[in-house]
């Protein structure tokens, strides 16, 4: 049974059993690397109202580095986009340009899909 409250420390984190004020679980989860290291760049249109987006999956970067890379890629493509769940989304069909940028930054990216 997990400890959730202590009279000494108040609310406790169920994972690390530390007081909520001293818990580091949320920080560690945010800094965790989500990608597997095999960078794949693809184009997708399904489920997006007919709009084409370029997706970059598998980057072995933490959340802050992923956001910074996404900003540089969006600026180079002149497009909008977002970083969601370890996947970079760039509005429009920019697969070739993204592959070039990733190669310049030292990522071994491959084209995925048709």
Share the mean pLDDT of the chain.
85
For the chain, give every domain's residue range. 1-31, 32-111
- Which residue shows structure tokens 């818990």? 23
Closest listed residue to residue 39, CA positions, set 53, 55, 58, 54: 58
Three-state secondary-structure class, residue 93: coil
Determine the average pLDDT of the residues in 13-26.
80
How confident is the model over 72-95, as pLDDT tens digits?
999 999 999 999 888 999 999 999
Architecture field, domain 32-111: 2-Layer Sandwich (3.30)
**pTM for the full predicted model:** 0.70
Share of the chain above pLDDT 90, in %: 46
Closest listed residue to residue 108, CA positions, set 23, 10, 25, 38: 38
């Amino acid at each position: 049974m997990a400890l959730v409250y202590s009279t000494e420390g108040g609310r406790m984190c169920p994972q690390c059993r530390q007081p909520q004020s001293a818990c580091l679980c949320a920080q560690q989860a945010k800094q965790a690397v989500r990608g597997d290291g095999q960078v794949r760049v693809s184009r997708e249109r399904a489920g997006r109202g007919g709009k084409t987006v370029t997706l970059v999956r598998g980057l072995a970067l933490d959340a802050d580095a992923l956001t910074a890379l996404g900003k540089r890629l969006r600026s180079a493509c002149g497009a909008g986009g977002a970083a969601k769940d370890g996947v970079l989304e760039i509005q429009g069909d920019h697969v070739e340009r993204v592959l070039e940028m990733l190669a310049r930054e030292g990522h071994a990216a491959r084209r995925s899909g048709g």
